[in-house]
Structure 1
């Protein structure tokens, strides 16, 4: 199998805890099903050109996973408040795009606990949680609050980050070396740290989500591979997790390379 085009990262479909997530590598308008190529040789060749994933223009350098500099500085999805939602400035009238803010930020959000490298706290739009959890490589997650806006979710997450990490250790996440954690007990402990104004928004469902990833083998050492250093890379595909392709000789972060023109070749293993 061979595909050429602009790399857009991984998409996925969740089918329940007893089945591995189905992963697809997005190349232009085509999707390459990755689960069926596990155990096969997969190569990625950089064709020497980068294009903005928003406007399509050629660019020497991409920003924020695939944007040219003008789109990075102008598009609302690249505003600083996206990564620091507690600093949302929609109410100040300085949002880059008011319609984007109304659609993306001024809607219900969930604050959650997830186990990826360790326990962490995070936030996501309501009904987008599965995508978010898989993209982070979480193996288990549970919502702990539902709030009306992204800014409120960011404020609660920022407050709780005093007691819990809000970042994922990607190397530890890929190794899968995670201790067993009682999510419900941890949730009850975290509730004791809720500010009074957020207590009415506590999410009391006792159901959590377990996520299984398509992984044949584990790596003892995590080596990151990048097309900025190697024109061609790859190896035997032994797993997929979060936004990473896991080869027998290292890992490749697909989203980091969004916008790169590539050629993907998959060859069945002998």
Structure 2
């Protein structure tokens, strides 16, 4: 095995080509490594047991919310509960942990969308996070539904949509490539019709331009670098087994698919490791 990269894990970077193919780059604090040439090869991830907060860089014995130390987890707006449940945004109440951060990341245009990763689901993201958000979820197709003025509004639309469609990905089905064959554009049109009363209520409260339906949206298709999907999904945990190795059979979402199991790279952001590659 030849060590190719050492450092603390950062979320894998991904690019989407014009023909819908996703390319990945493994990122550590010391640099990044394109993954295309590693498919089919033996790789080894050796975790040192050291963890550094992805925000402040301080050493920590435990990682919170995918890479933060306890202090940052309790102080940063990006770790507040409204990030997971944006309809609970309290910016308007003057109690946001970081108002300047929120102005940039929350008080800006967001997209409500449908995606098919393990089945049809509704989701939200900032406009400038498309298509990254879809790739991170492992979606094979996505269709925009609404463009909204703030993160809170996207959460309110999503909350209304959740009465009709799922809002979470079944990651095990996604990693088996077991999502159903669905006409997402038809599902999007049906959902927009069902949400019309709720959207009109939001428009009457926040203004017509605050929630705008995307008319006749184009769907985006995505394909992932996978040689073989597993029949059975077993997870690899470096906290229990610091040396993770196997043949790299694919990448989807933020998961590495090895013949020995799967590992969610983003989950271990901030963990120090050495990435080695064999034949």
Does the 8 A contact of 1:16 with 1:211 survive in 2?
no
Does the 8 A contact of 1:17 with 1:209 survive in 2?
no
| Structure 2 residue runs without a partner (length 5+) | none
What does residue 235 of structure 2 align with? 224
CA distance, structure 2, for counterparts of residue 177 and residue 34 of structure 1: 24
What does residue 17 of structure 1 align with? 19
| Structure 1 residue runs without a partner (length 5+) | none
Within-5 A mapping of 1:9-158: 9-18=11-20, 20-158=21-159
Deviations 1:30-70 (A, max 9, x none): 10111110000010011121111111111110000011000
CA distance, structure 2, for counterparts of residue 257 and residue 48 of structure 1: 11
Please report how far the alpha carbon of residue 90 of structure 1 lies from its aligned counterpart in structure 2 after TM superposition. 0.6
CA distance, structure 2, for counterparts of residue 49 and residue 206 of structure 1: 46
Does the 8 A contact of 2:144 with 2:217 survive in 1?
no
Does the 8 A contact of 1:110 with 1:124 survive in 2?
yes
Please report how far the alpha carbon of residue 16 of structure 1 lies from its aligned counterpart in structure 2 after TM superposition. 2.6
CA distance, structure 1, for counterparts of residue 202 and residue 258 of structure 2: 44
Does the 8 A contact of 1:117 with 1:177 survive in 2?
yes
Please report how far the alpha carbon of residue 184 of structure 1 lies from its aligned counterpart in structure 2 after TM superposition. 1.7
Secondary structure in structure 1 of the residue aligned to 2:53: coil
Secondary structure in structure 2 of the residue aligned to 1:77: helix
Residues 254 and 232 (structure 1 numbering): CA distance in 2 closer, same or farther, change over 3 Å? same
Please report how far the alpha carbon of residue 101 of structure 1 lies from its aligned counterpart in structure 2 after TM superposition. 0.8
Secondary structure in structure 1 of the residue aligned to 2:49: strand
Within-5 A mapping of 1:163-182: 163-182=164-183
Does the 8 A contact of 2:235 with 2:261 survive in 1?
yes
Secondary structure in structure 1 of the residue aligned to 2:13: strand
| Pairing partner for 1:208 from 215, 219, 223 | 219
Does the 8 A contact of 2:6 with 2:30 survive in 1?
no
CA distance, structure 2, for counterparts of residue 134 and residue 235 of structure 1: 23
What does residue 234 of structure 1 align with? 245
What does residue 253 of structure 1 align with? 264
Does the 8 A contact of 1:49 with 1:58 survive in 2?
yes
Please report how far the alpha carbon of residue 205 of structure 1 lies from its aligned counterpart in structure 2 after TM superposition. 3.5
The count of residues paired between Structure 1 and Structure 2 equals: 267
Please report how far the alpha carbon of residue 197 of structure 1 lies from its aligned counterpart in structure 2 after TM superposition. 2.9
What does residue 197 of structure 1 align with? 201
Does the 8 A contact of 2:11 with 2:27 survive in 1?
yes
Please report how far the alpha carbon of residue 231 of structure 1 lies from its aligned counterpart in structure 2 after TM superposition. 1.4
The alignment's C-alpha RMSD in Å is 1.2
Please report how far the alpha carbon of residue 9 of structure 1 lies from its aligned counterpart in structure 2 after TM superposition. 2.6
Does the 8 A contact of 1:110 with 1:145 survive in 2?
yes
Structure 1 residues 195-204 or 50-59, which shifts more? 195-204
Deviations 1:176-218 (A, max 9, x none): 1111111121112101221123575211133110001000011
CA distance, structure 2, for counterparts of residue 156 and residue 256 of structure 1: 27
